[in-house]
Amino acid sequence: MDTTTLILATTFAPFAGFVIAILFLHRAPQLAQVVVTASAAVALGGAVQLWLNGPAEPLRYLWFTSGAIDLYFGFLLDGLNLMFGVAVALITLCVIVYSIGYMADDPSKTRYFALLAFFEWAMLSFVYAVDLLQSFIFWELVGLASFFLIGFWYQKPSAAEAARKAFLMTRIGDVGLLIGVLLVMMTAGHFDIPGLLDPDVGLVTRLAPATLTAITLLIFVGIVGKSAQFPLHTWLPDAMEGPTPVSALLHSATMVAAGVFLMARLYPLFLAAETTRSVILVVATITALLAATMAMVDRDIKKVLAYSSISQLGFMLMALAAGSLFAGVFHLITHALFKALLFLCSGLFIHHFATNDLEQIGRSGGRSMRLATIGLLIGGGALAGVPPLSGFFSKEEIFAALGHGGGAAFTIAAFAAAFLTAYYTFRMIFLVTVPDRIEPHTADDHHEGSVEPWTMALPVVVLSLGATLAGGWGDKIAATLGVEISHHSIGDMLPAIGVVAAGVVLAWLDFGRGDRAGFLTRIPALQSLFSNGWHIDEIYRAVFVRITGWVATLLHGMEVKGLDGGFDRFGVGILGAGSGSRRVQSGWVQFYGGCAVVVVGAIAFYVGMGG
What is the per-residue pLDDT across 388-419, written as a single tens digit (0 to 9) for each? Answer: 999 999 999 999 999 865 668 999 999 999 99
Name the residue among 104, 140, 125 with its Cα closest to residue 243.
104
What's the domain count of the chain? 2
Residue 384's pLDDT band, with cuts at 50, 70 and 90, is very high
Is the pLDDT confidence value at 610 over 90?
no
Together in a domain, 597 and 515? no
Q: What is the pLDDT of residues 194-244, one digit of tens each?
A: 999 999 999 999 999 999 999 999 999 999 999 999 999 999 999 999 999
Together in a domain, 437 and 522? yes
Q: Which of 477, 508, 531 is the last residue of a domain?
A: 531
Together in a domain, 447 and 344? yes
Together in a domain, 403 and 552? no
Is the pLDDT confidence value at 447 over 60?
no
Together in a domain, 464 and 592? no
- Give the separation between CA 313 and CA 315, rounded to whole angstroms: 5
Q: What is the pLDDT of residues 301-317, one digit of tens each?
A: 999 999 999 999 999 99
Q: Tell me whether residue 287 is in a domain.
A: no
Q: Tell me whether residue 72 is in a domain.
A: no
Looking at residue 545, its pLDDT comes to 84
Q: What is the pLDDT of residues 122-132, one digit of tens each?
A: 999 999 999 99
Q: What is the dihedral of CA 252, 254, 256, 258, to 10 degrees?
A: 140
227-231, 256-260, 265-269, 444-448: range with lowest mean pLDDT: 444-448
The more confidently predicted of residues 567 and 213 is 213
Name the residue among 246, 510, 240 with its Cα closest to residue 356.
240
Distance from CA of residue 51 to its chain's centroid?
Answer: 25
Would you call 66 helix, strand, or coil by DSSP? strand
Looking at residue 110, its pLDDT comes to 95
Q: What is the pLDDT of residues 311-335, one digit of tens each?
A: 999 999 999 999 999 999 999 999 9
Together in a domain, 455 and 495? yes
352-356, 421-425, 436-440: range with lowest mean pLDDT: 436-440
Q: Tell me whether residue 432 is in a domain.
A: yes
Residue 370's pLDDT band, with cuts at 50, 70 and 90, is very high
Q: Which of 508, 531, 554 is the last residue of a domain?
A: 531
Name the residue among 100, 117, 124, 103 with its Cα closest to residue 459.
100
Q: Tell me whether residue 84 is in a domain.
A: no
Looking at residue 406, its pLDDT comes to 61
Looking at residue 172, its pLDDT comes to 94
- Give the separation between CA 269 and CA 197, rounded to whole angstroms: 7
- Give the separation between CA 327 and CA 96, rounded to whole angstroms: 29
Q: Tell me whether residue 549 is in a domain.
A: yes
Looking at residue 611, its pLDDT comes to 57
- Give the separation between CA 173 and CA 481, rounded to whole angstroms: 28
Q: What is the pLDDT of residues 503-550, one digit of tens each?
A: 999 999 999 876 777 888 889 999 999 999 999 999 998 888 888 888
Give the DSSP letter of residue 564. I
Looking at residue 445, its pLDDT comes to 42
Average pLDDT estimate for 348-353: 94
Together in a domain, 526 and 562? no
To 10 degrees, what angle do helices 325-353 and 454-469 make? 150
Together in a domain, 518 and 554? no
Residue 197: half-sphere exposure toward Cβ, Cα within 13 Å: 17
Q: Tell me whether residue 359 is in a domain.
A: yes
Average pLDDT estimate for 4-12: 96
Full domain range(s) for residue 563 = 539-608
Looking at residue 577, its pLDDT comes to 80
Together in a domain, 578 and 510? no
Report field, pTM of the whole predicted structure over 0.85: yes
* Greatest Cα pair distance in the chain: 122
Contacts of 17 (CB under 8 A, 6+ apart): 35, 36, 38, 39, 40, 114, 117
Q: Tell me whether residue 457 is in a domain.
A: yes
Q: What is the pLDDT of residues 47-101, one digit of tens each?
A: 999 999 999 999 999 988 887 788 889 999 999 999 999 999 999 999 999 999 9
Q: Which of 482, 505, 531 is the last residue of a domain?
A: 531
Going 241 to 316 to 320 to 125, the CA torsion angle's sign is negative
Together in a domain, 544 and 582? yes
Together in a domain, 486 and 579? no
Together in a domain, 565 and 481? no
Q: Tell me whether residue 159 is in a domain.
A: no
